[in-house]
Amino acid sequence: MVDKKEFDELKTKVSDLEKLIGPNGSLLEEYLAEKEKPKSVSIVVWSGEYDRVLPAFIIANGARAMNMDVNLYFTFWGLKTLQKENHRPKGTNIMNKMLHYMLSGGPAGAKLSKMHMFGIGKGMITKLMQENGISDLEEQMELAYENGVNIQACTLAMGIFGMKKEDDFSDKVKSYCGVATYLMDAINSDITLFI
Amino acid sequence: MVDKKEFDELKTKVSDLEKLIGPNGSLLEEYLAEKEKPKSVSIVVWSGEYDRVLPAFIIANGARAMNMDVNLYFTFWGLKTLQKENHRPKGTNIMNKMLHYMLSGGPAGAKLSKMHMFGIGKGMITKLMQENGISDLEEQMELAYENGVNIQACTLAMGIFGMKKEDDFSDKVKSYCGVATYLMDAINSDITLFI
Amino acid sequence: MVDKKEFDELKTKVSDLEKLIGPNGSLLEEYLAEKEKPKSVSIVVWSGEYDRVLPAFIIANGARAMNMDVNLYFTFWGLKTLQKENHRPKGTNIMNKMLHYMLSGGPAGAKLSKMHMFGIGKGMITKLMQENGISDLEEQMELAYENGVNIQACTLAMGIFGMKKEDDFSDKVKSYCGVATYLMDAINSDITLFI
């Protein structure tokens, strides 16, 4: 015959186990939630060169098409990619003006990292891309904005270059933040890159 | 005395718990499998410069020696690393021919990113590597092929540059794929880099 | 009435479940420990240029401020960042001497990747950083040493460049190691970058 006390002890054990793994906020459910949350990609876009910014957007748009969350954190030379077209330098002193001049342009102003020295390069690449039906940087950026890629501008680098939200950036840039925001996104990301 | 109904309820609870964590496809076993699967590294090799491609292969071969899975995804300027030696440009127009010329070479044709401007550089580095018993890029590539590093060529960048599988690439390159394949590998990788 | 044998079988099942998920070294506790261990960042600092090394330290110091573990693995051109100020070349032959000359300097000697070609650049950037209250590279490095960023020098690249621990490096560099150490750190890191 089964002892009542022994049975009650077993009941308590089962109840303890249920607390650990059963429904309502248990660890196992947490693990399950972790597994089921969307995959995510965080890319620091440090470079402003056409041939580096382009793969950043190709990876970003590819990842969005696969339902991943994507953060593109633009800093340093990458910031020029987010600027308004035909942007004119507005710096308060000669240094700022020179920097703005070098940083101006938006995606249309981006140059190749290598081949420019031969006087060829970007025109050639974009023509070949067109011939092969591959979207250019401006189209890739447009796609990224439409598809909900989280495009962020680094406020620290903006400070260095004397850039202002309202003067310099495309209206489509919604997020201005520092390295702490980047880090919080990146520690929860499955893919982290520095381009 | 223990009530039969109460006992049966407890049995059901234990059975539910077993379904969650017991043998045969449970979550806990999934977690265990996840922990026991080999670690993995995915590197985008965007650059074609000797001093950047070399560390990509050093990391790749080091990781294989530690039983990690390794994917090297070659794109843009990185593609030239995978080309046949003494490759001759075969483009269909003048632009393709110029691009091919600039991209030609295989590992022996790779240049340094910096020191070339001084007219020294690669010969110096490779001589020093030889003196110090460090394998050069060609040997590192050979090792990577032998040891099962998964070497992939980006079909989108091949399209831009007008490169053809059969005309341009070493027979040893087995995998030609797009950004979706890269992303699927990379989300399951413990280390992701863009070089 | 409850059968004694049936009850004992249930007890065994509960005991088996407790072994899997209960206290004392169970998988679930392992999972919990995994979740609670500090987040970590591993960065390969391959570049020696001011505008690339600076973001490496900004990310590193930001991550330390958020209680993450941080490894900065300096290799190739990045090694010059760790050298003593006013370091004089000590190579045993002409090639080593030339390399040392090109690699010398410590953080104060680092140049910009782009704007140097205009004859402006680093002085401009550091002046703007000063004006905007942003710590320069030397201060960022000092902060990193103080805050316990794990700064590592790659012994393989040191071998290539003929660099010696005692002749070339700041006393503050404590860790000299190879790619295997980098990989062990990086597979346990939440953020991995190549700068």
Pairing assessment for the beta strands A191-194 and A40-45 based on DSSP bridges? parallel
Q: How far apart are CA C50 and CA A142, in angstroms?
A: 32
- Contact residues, C window 143-182, toward A, CB-based 8 Å cutoff: none
* Residues B87, B112, C186, A45, CA torsion sign: negative
Q: For residue A191, give the 3-state DSSP assignment.
A: strand
pLDDT digits (tens, 9 = 90+) for B48-76: 888 899 999 999 999 999 999 999 999 99
Chain-centroid distance, C-alpha B107: 16
Identify the band that residue C127 occupies on the pLDDT scale cut at 50, 70 and 90.
confident
Instruction: Please report the pLDDT score of residue A102 as a whole number.
Output: 61
C13 contacts in chain B (CB < 8 Å): 14, 18
Rg for chain A, CA atoms, rounded: 25
Instruction: Average the pLDDT over A125-152 and give the result.
Output: 90
Q: Rounded to whole angstroms, how far apart are CA atoms C5 and A96?
A: 85
Contacting residues of A for C124, CB less than 8 Å apart = 95, 98-99
pLDDT tens, residue by residue, A6-50: 888 888 888 877 777 655 446 667 777 777 889 999 999 999 888
The alpha-carbon gap from C145 to the nearest alpha carbon of chain A, in Å, equals 19
| Range scoring the smallest mean pLDDT among B138-147, B164-173, B181-190, C149-158 | B164-173
Q: Where are the alpha helices (DSSP H) in chain C?
A: 4-21, 27-36, 50-65, 94-103, 122-131, 137-146, 155-161, 165-168, 179-187
Once rounded to an integer, what is the mean pLDDT over residues C65-73? 98
Ordered DSSP codes for C1-23:
---HHHHHHHHHHHHHHHHHHSS
Cβ distance B150 to B184 under 8 Å? no
Q: CA B6, CA B2: separation in Å to the nearest integer?
A: 7
With beta carbons less than 8 A apart as the criterion, state whether A86 and A110 touch: no
Q: What is the ipTM of this complex?
A: 0.83
Enumerate the residues of chain C whose CB falls inside 8 A of the CB of residue A159: 132, 134
Question: Stretch B168-176: mean pLDDT, rounded?
Answer: 89
Q: Under an 8 A CB cutoff, do C4 and A7 touch?
A: no
CB pairs under 8 A between B and C: 100
Position C167 pLDDT exceeds 50: yes
pTM (predicted TM-score): 0.86
Chain A CB within 8 Å of residue B45 CB: no
Sorted by sequence, the CB contacts under 8 Å of residue B5 that are 6+ apart come out as: none
Q: From the candidates A4, A10, A28, A122, which should be mutated to test the interface with B, based on the most B CB atoms within 10 A?
A: A28
Task: Find all residues with CB under 8 Å of A167, minimum gap 6, and list them.
Answer: A90
How far apart are alpha carbons A195 and A44 in whole angstroms? 6
Cβ-proximal residues to B160 (8 Å cutoff; 6+ apart), any chain: A125, A128, A129, A132, A134
pLDDT recorded at residue C189: 97
Contacts of C161 in chain B (CB under 8 A): 128
Q: Contact B28/C17, CB-based, under 8 Å? A: no
- Measure A178 CA to nearest chain B CA, in Å: 22
Q: Between chain A and chain C, how many beta carbons pairs sit less than 8 Å apart?
A: 101
Are the Cβ atoms of B32 and C31 closer than 8 angstroms?
no
Lowest average pLDDT, out of A46-55, A120-129, B142-151, C141-150, goes to A120-129
Residues in contact with C50: Cβ distance below 8 Å, sequence separation at least 6, in sequence order:
C110, C111, C112, C113, C122, C125, C137
**pLDDT for res A117:** 40
Cα(C177)–Cα(B89) distance, rounded to whole angstroms?
Answer: 42
CA B135 to chain centroid, in Å, comes to 19
- Chain C neighbours (≥3 Cβ pairs under 8 A) are A, B
Nearest to A153, CA basis, from A126, A171, A136, A129: A171
Within 8 A of C118 by CB-CB distance, chain A residues are 102
